């Protein structure tokens, strides 16, 4: 990439970024800082992604402005809560002002062959998300590991009404990979539904972003990448985006981007 292309990539990455703080010890002060960081001199992130306990605080900071959306997580990160517990989490988060729900499927049960558990969970949470609240379903692909399981998880999540399918929680050893992206994007394409894709975990440079953009465009077509169909879940990516848009060198320069 030349400098112009890198800056163009950075601008798109900013527009599709879910700026994330899901640290276990996250503080209210860090949420205030995250909300402020979501607006940059070069444009705004698509969303902030935070723990449910901070949704009301973020909503008070954003007020009635939903141009930067508030995403939160449920059944996170274990995927092991009951359907009733997750529905209650979801309803409480929406009441507090969440615009988007990132749901972890019961991936351990799927690995054991229980597809119905995934369908039931996604269906119930979908029903608890009134329009225009988005449902982004986390497959935890690094734990599913097998391509056929990642494909099947994608199909189940899509069939039950997910608006996005997302790779990872960022809390396991293997998070977003291009291999998982390939499987998930093909599942979206084959469904012929208007479903988005969100890689999350380990994406920290504009060069990383470029690889996912190219992959998505190759499978879904040019101009598919936009906030309604593509998001990055990342905490560190914004630093590199701002550096590049400010005329500095990307941390990915050593890799050839």
pLDDT in tens, 209-226: 999 999 999 999 999 999
pLDDT at 255 over 50: no
Q: What confidence tens digit (pLDDT) does each residue in 72-81 have?
A: 999 999 999 9
Considering the domain 3-246 in this protein, what is its CATH number?
A: 3.20.20.70
Catalytic residues: 102, 166, 198
Question: Judging by DSSP bridges, how do beta strands 17-21 and 39-40 pair with one another?
Answer: unpaired
Cβ neighbours of residue 128 closer than 8 Å, sequence gap 6 or more: 87, 90, 91, 94
pLDDT of residue 253: 46
In this prediction, residue 252 carries a pLDDT of 63
Q: What is the mean pLDDT of residues 132-159?
A: 98
**Tell me: the pLDDT tens digits for 91-145?**
999 999 999 999 999 999 999 999 999 999 999 999 999 999 999 999 999 999 9
Average pLDDT in the 19-26 region? 98
User: What pLDDT score was predicted for residue 251?
Assistant: 78
Q: For position 153, what pLDDT does the model report?
A: 98
Is-above-0.85 flag for pTM?
yes
Q: What is the mean pLDDT of residues 192-202?
A: 97
3-state SS string over the chain?
CCHHHHHHHHHHHHHCEEEEECCCCCCHHHHHHHHHHCEECCEECCEEEECHHHHHHHHHHHCCCCCCEEEEEECCCCCCCCHHHHHHHHHHHHHHCCCEEEEECCHHHHHCCCHHHHHHHHHHHHHCCCCCCEEEEECCHHHHCCHHHHHHHHHHHHHCCCCEEECCCCCCCCCCCHHHHHHHHHHHHHHCCCCEEECECCCCCHHHHHHHHHHHHHHHCCCCCCCCCECEEECCHHHHHHHHHCCCCCCCHHHCC
């Amino acid at each position: 990439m030349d400098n112009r292309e890198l800056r163009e990539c950075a601008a798109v990455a900013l527009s599709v970024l879910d700026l994330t703080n899901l640290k276990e010890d996250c503080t209210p002060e860090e949420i205030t800082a995250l909300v402020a960081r979501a607006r940059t001199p070069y444009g705004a992130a698509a969303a902030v992604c935070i723990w449910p306990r901070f949704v009301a605080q973020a909503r008070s900071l954003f007020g009635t402005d939903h141009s930067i959306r508030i995403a939160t997580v449920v059944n996170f990160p274990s995927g092991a809560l009951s359907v009733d517990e997750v529905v209650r989490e979801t309803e409480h988060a929406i009441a507090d002002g969440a615009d988007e729900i990132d749901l972890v499927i019961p991936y351990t049960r799927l690995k054991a062959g229980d597809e119905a558990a995934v369908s039931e969970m996604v269906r119930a949470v979908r029903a608890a998300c009134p329009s225009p609240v988005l449902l982004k379903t986390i497959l935890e692909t690094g734990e599913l590991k097998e391509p056929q399981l990642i494909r099947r998880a994608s199909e189940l999540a899509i069939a039950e009404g997910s608006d996005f399918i997302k790779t990872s929680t960022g809390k396991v050893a293997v998070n977003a990979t291009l291999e998982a992206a390939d499987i998930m994007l093909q599942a979206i394409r084959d469904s012929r539904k208007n479903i988005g894709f969100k890689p999350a975990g380990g994406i920290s440079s504009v060069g990383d972003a470029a690889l996912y953009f190219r992959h998505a465009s190759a499978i879904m077509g040019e101009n598919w990448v936009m906030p309604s169909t593509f998001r990055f879940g990342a905490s560190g990516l914004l630093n590199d985006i701002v550096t590049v848009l400010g005329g500095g060198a990307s941390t990915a320069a050593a890799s050839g981007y």
